[in-house]
A and B are shown apart, each in its own frame.
Chain A
Amino acid sequence: GVEGKITSHTTSVSSLLPSPSCSPSTSKASIRKSTLEVIHKHGPCSTLFQDPNPLNHTKVLLRDESRVKWIQSQSSNSSDGLKASAAVSLPAKSGMTIGIGNYVVTIGLGTPKKDLTLEFDTGSPLTWTQCEPCNRSCYTQSEPMFNPSQSSSYSNISCTSTSCSQLGGRGSGCSGSTCQYSIRYGDQSSSMGLFVTDKLMITPTEVIDKFEFGCGKNNQGLFGRTAGLIGLSNDKISIVEQTAAKYGKYFSYCLPSSPSYTGHLTFGKDGGAVSSVSFTPLSTVPRRSQFYGISILGIAVGGNRLSIPSTVFSSGGAIIDSGTVITRLPPTAYSALRTAFRNAMASYTMAPALNILDTCYDFSKESTITVPVITFSFAGRVDVDLDPNGIFFVAKASQVCLAFAPNRADSN
């Protein structure tokens, strides 16, 4: 351990549990001109909150596992079962990518603008929304569907354009002379339609003319009540690349501590990030180039560095993903983390496992708890002490689980 370093959090159990009402954090969204408010899709701050399907924690974890399997399956030597489709450069999507554990932002599209709430995802390249008329199948979304015929700034993209060719394996030919896209996710959820342009309003003062996106005419799967998805991955067709001249391929976000609060998604450096940001190198992951690769070097629990050989982390590599809920670790690393965490939490009553989460506690009789600080060390001498809300997956007060899970093998 490091002398003088804080090694535990003492926090109220109630702060880990979601509140039934929304307490928006307005500061960031109001002072930065290129900032969107981030909302948990199924929390009280969301207009999608009236979803007829109640939040099911087991379903969240099952779908999270589906997304992870899809990510892992893109490796040619993977044995995780889900095979990459012919469109190998598709985003890391199972239906869960667009599932319950994710966050949404509301943007404006078209002239006059229509507000659309989209899931944001650093693992996806393509932004798409459902469009009228829906030729075959569209799911029910909360907001009125985007109708190109009512937008004066809408245009189709030609089949022969460079933009269309950048779809690569996500292109699906032509409809007349108009470029078409097709995405099929790992769980067979899909979106197909026209690849088009229109005016995108990030905020009233931040407008992107001729933003390229998918106008979905046939959308099936587990998309909830969102209007679609905003792709933030490292790809030619993502919003990051399309706005490179304006924002310099620079964006940031904050995910709130609970669904009862709001965060932000900001494009560009305008307004400044929080005062002290520590940077670790981004890397490209072989065969998964759309993802943002990072290097995990070690983990500490309660200020004590776990004894994990460095090769455990380096052999498989790692990515950061806004669409995966639970952090996946090499089994050797997970085992060391679990042992140290359980030892530090030995005074608390354990609870039954919850799907992939095997270290759960019953805090229903506690008002406050003391939790060891978990620290991730990344390349570049970056140490990140997790927030208490970043340590647990809370099903209920009587079942609060360590929010980590192992991969199948250290090499995976």
Chain B
Amino acid sequence: LGIYGNTQQKTFEVVYDVAGRKLGFGSNGCS
């Protein structure tokens, strides 16, 4: 099992659309 950890998630908008069964990444999510 690979694990995508929180260091690699830094600065991205990480979107959990649990109902839609999809995960999103958007750049510059904190700014």
Q: How many residues of A contact B (CB 8 A)?
A: 78
Contact with A along B2-31 (1 / 0, CB 8 A): 111111111111111111111111111111
Partner of A276, one of B4, B21, B22, B26: B26
- Judge whether B24 and A326 touch: CB under 8 Å: no
- Judge whether A256 and B5 touch: CB under 8 Å: no
- Judge whether B2 and A277 touch: CB under 8 Å: no
Q: How far is the CA of A28 from the CA of B30 in the complex (A)?
A: 7
What are the residues of chain A within 8 A of B30 when measuring CB–CB?
25, 28, 254-257, 261-264
Judged by a CB distance under 8 angstroms, whether A348 is at the interface is no
Residue of B nearest to A234 (CB): B18
State whether A328 and B12 are in contact (beta carbons under 8 Å apart), knowing that A25-B31, A256-B30 are contacts in the complex.
no
Q: How many residues of B contact A (CB 8 A)?
A: 31
* Shortest distance between the CB of A249 and any CB in chain B (Å): 4
- Judge whether A255 and B10 touch: CB under 8 Å: yes
- Judge whether A318 and B6 touch: CB under 8 Å: no
What are the residues of chain A within 8 A of B16 when measuring CB–CB?
122, 232, 240, 250-252, 282, 292
What are the residues of chain A within 8 A of B7 when measuring CB–CB?
325-327, 389-390, 392-393, 403
Residue of A nearest to B18 (CB): A249
What are the residues of chain A within 8 A of B22 when measuring CB–CB?
279-282, 380
What are the residues of chain B within 8 A of A28 when measuring CB–CB?
30
- Judge whether B21 and A318 touch: CB under 8 Å: no
Q: How far is the CA of A388 from the CA of B4 in the complex (A)?
A: 16
* Shortest distance between the CB of B16 and any CB in chain A (Å): 5
* Shortest distance between the CB of A281 and any CB in chain B (Å): 6
Judged by a CB distance under 8 angstroms, whether A350 is at the interface is no
- Judge whether A294 and B23 touch: CB under 8 Å: yes
Q: How far is the CA of A384 from the CA of B14 in the complex (A)?
A: 11
B residues lining the A interface (CB < 8 Å) = 1-31
What are 12 A-B pairs with beta-carbon distances under 8 A? A64-B5, A103-B6, A122-B16, A273-B29, A279-B15, A279-B23, A282-B18, A316-B1, A317-B2, A318-B1, A386-B8, A390-B12
A residues lining the B interface (CB < 8 Å) = 25, 27-28, 64, 68, 71-72, 75, 101-103, 122, 232, 234, 240, 244, 248-257, 261-264, 273-283, 285, 288, 292, 294, 296, 313, 316-330, 333, 376, 378, 380, 382, 384-387, 389-390, 392-393, 403, 407, 412
